A and B are shown apart, each in its own frame.
Chain A
Amino acid sequence: MTPVEAHTEGNGAAPAAAGAPMLELRSIDVNYGRVRALRGVSLTVNEGEIVALIGSNGAGKTTTLRTISGLNRPSRGEVRLRGVPIHQLGAERIARMGVAHAPEGRRLFPRMTVRENLEMGAYARTDRAGVRESFERVFTLFPRLKERTSQLAGSLSGGEQQMVAIGRAYMSNPQILLLDEPSLGLAPILVDTIFEVIREINARGGTILLIEQNALLALKTASRGYVLETGNIALSGPAQDLLTSPDVQRAYLGM
């Protein structure tokens, strides 16, 4: 075992796609009142890779993402973005530093149009040319949204709403994209479309931390994975290894 691997051994994962650590969580604890939602969660997302975080209901997946983007405060541990600690900052500061969160349940602004929702994603940006470019990029990724720019987000179908949610997060030109259950409640064909786009974003150099209940799909898409169980990281490693791990197969893949 080389010293480099020993360093990351704390997380149990070997760096797959070579790249500097974009996001690091170091032994994070999060409490909801007296309930401890996360205990000592550590994970790393390297630049340019897709990392999947899988686990059953209530395992703490969403809490992990909310903690990263500043919607929850960790009671212990730290979150670093490119080595800079961000866990003390407010949600809006973290968003401005390049963490884009497509939250659980999509959470669009239902009474704004698709275009306005996407504009809100670029709220913190001041470079107009860059924003226009991002619009084009989102419309290339989701051609369907281009037809619906002036439709109200609340009147879209679930799949289209998910497209807007990802598009809105992508509009901020983020360092890292946090996707919370993008397949939730979608028809299988739409799930394929969404994951196609996720791979596309990654192919263009996007770094993604993905939460999924659909473990098979998530692990097939990701390069590395973490398995969260009742607030602990139970397993981690390259996605291929997790797919073939008997524990994962039994608990999450139904095999």
Chain B
Amino acid sequence: MNRLLRAFFRPTQKITATGVYTILVIAAAAMVLLGWFLPWFVGPFSEGVGFSPQDAISTAPTGIGTILLYVTGVCMLIVLLSPFVEFTLRARHRALDVRWDMVRAAASVVGLVLTVVVWILVRWINEEPLFGALPNGITTDSAVWLEMYGFGLAAITYGLKRLVLERPNVMFVVGVLPFGVLLPLMFHQAPAFVLWATQSLAIYMLLGLGLNVVVGFAGLLDLGYAAFFAIGGYACASLASPIHGVHISLWMLIFIGAAIAATFGAILGAPTLRLRGDYLAIVTLGFGEIIPDLATNNVFGLTGGPNGISGIDKPVVGSVNFGFNPQWFYWSLLFFSVVVVIMLLNMQRARIGRAWVALREDEVAAAATGINTTTTKLLAFAIGASVSGLAGAFYGAIVSIVSPDDFQFAVSIAVLSIIVLGGIGNISGVILGAFVLTFVIFWALPNLQEWSATLGHTFNVPAISGIDFTRYTFILYGAALIIMMLFRPAGLLPSRARKVELESGIESESLAAVQGRA
């Protein structure tokens, strides 16, 4: 266990150190900003108007509490502006004075403390002398949580900047994992958001981690990855629903689903062993189309045809029924994600990981150094597929109905986009990619609607209030990828290998070309 942990915390990707620092700084600023604005946008439409300094100041600028709010506001501005200042300076090859790190860290700590103080004052000692007249139930907990988290993250990042640069992986975990765990609590006033979190973020993160083994580590482009997701989902659905009268516990099913998916992964891998690049991509694409079609045609009477399988059991642990407490799905998924991440990090550093990289770099040379290319490739497919099967089993239990429509090509593309966006081959990058993409697609875009409506009404511009952003999901999606490819082609957190390849244009020949049968 000790070895596992040590492997996990060993700094390996020095080159991403500034990347992690940048991500943490931007994340902190974004959370502070979001926490600031959230009450404005949530306010008019849903429960609880926010505590937000500028609200309180503008509505009732009286009492000594106002001073606290002003100070908090200054801290916010420092946290918000310092990334811009720093990156502008960095772009001009000038460094920010070290003393500023202390100032920023101090401002973050002050902001954190004041946020808590003001929150307590507003919530429990809501007296007029403090803030003037405020209605009851004024705090939006999500906003307060985001403020606190943003300030806390900024304090850690600026205060322990050297540690962040020396041990980016550890600090990434320290900075991001609590956010992942607290997510359902932070947004407990918006149960729909919790559902979003359970259904999308964790599932897509697992899918991204699995696909990353195949595409990132072993360099085998797989465009039909949703097929394994479908296999896991249908395995869960058939073995825990009334359709066949079988009811197996989800905790067994995730392993069964993973095993079945791994088997199919090996089955797909076997005939494609000799294929690389485009050819492999086309075969996997075909496989990804076949599996949902088989499900539509109710193959062997197992899949329930186009309507799919419904009434999938919800797991019950002790007194907690996951059906009524979906956040437990999220936490279970998060737990399994952490387990998967630790397993994958160790694999990456073990012999199999080196064999995958060698295979990706040069198949001939890999074989000549004694790597069994057949088993290495099959293992990549099987392990990648098994993670997807696990995610599929959870998915079935969460949505309680699986149908062929859930596993179309778009899913494969979305997962591929996550790892491209985050950084192919880098586990931290994939996690970040899952965060960003699910956040944009499932939360920002749908909510953008509401926000722009608010803006339109506030400033009396009907043109803004009428935009239906969800219709432009795929446009924004594509635009994001194009922008990524142009400005940061190796992903938000690039793996070392990709960064080198893109910067120096190193590319290894394909096996087929070398053997003259391309």
Contacts and interface: CB of A to CB of B under 8 A. Distances in A.
A associates with B: yes
Interface of A: 32, 69-71, 90-92, 95-96, 100-101, 103, 107-112, 116, 119-121, 123-124, 152, 154-155, 168, 172
Contacts of A120: 354, 358, 365-366, 369
B368 interface: yes
A157 B357 CA distance: 22
A110 B508 contact: yes
B362 A172 contact: no
B359 to A, nearest CB: 10
Contacts of B357: 109, 111-112
Most chain B CB within a 10 A radius of its CB, from A90, A92, A103, A168? A92
Nearest to A65: B368
Nearest to B497: A111
**For this complex, into which size category does the number of interface residues on chain B fall?**
20 to 34
Interface in B474-518: 496-497, 500-501, 504, 506, 508, 516
A203 B312 CA distance: 72
B250 interface: no
A38 to B, nearest CB: 15
Interface of B: 351, 354-355, 357-358, 361-362, 364-374, 496-497, 500-501, 504, 506, 508, 516
A154 to B, nearest CB: 4
Contact of B372 (A32, A92, A154): A92
B361 A123 contact: no
Contacts of A112: 357-358, 361, 497
B365 A92 contact: no
A50 to B, nearest CB: 20
A32 B365 contact: no
Given A103-B365, A109-B362, A154-B506, A124 B501 contact: no
B505 to A, nearest CB: 9
Contacts of B366: 109, 120
22 contacts: A70-B367, A71-B367, A91-B373, A92-B367, A92-B370, A92-B372, A95-B367, A103-B364, A103-B365, A107-B508, A109-B358, A110-B508, A112-B361, A112-B497, A120-B366, A121-B369, A123-B358, A124-B369, A155-B500, A168-B369, A172-B369, A172-B370
Contact of A32 (B369, B506, B516): B516
A14 to B, nearest CB: 31
Given A111-B500, A111-B506, A123 B351 contact: yes
A154 B364 contact: no
B365 A91 contact: no
Contacts of B496: 111
Contact of B364 (A107, A123, A168): A107
A154 B496 CA distance: 13
Contacts of B372: 90, 92
A91 B367 contact: yes
B104 to A, nearest CB: 33
Nearest to A102: B368
B195 to A, nearest CB: 41
Given A90-B367, A116-B354, A120-B366, 13 more contacts: A100-B368, A107-B508, A109-B358, A109-B361, A109-B366, A110-B361, A112-B358, A119-B354, A120-B358, A123-B370, A123-B371, A154-B500, A172-B369
Nearest to B495: A111
A153 B506 CA distance: 10
A107 B370 contact: no
A71 B364 contact: yes
Nearest to A171: B369
A108 B220 CA distance: 19
A50 B355 CA distance: 31
A92 B371 contact: yes
Which 9 pairs of residues, A with B, have the shortest CB-CB distance?
A124-B370, A95-B370, A109-B361, A91-B367, A154-B506, A111-B497, A107-B365, A110-B506, A92-B372
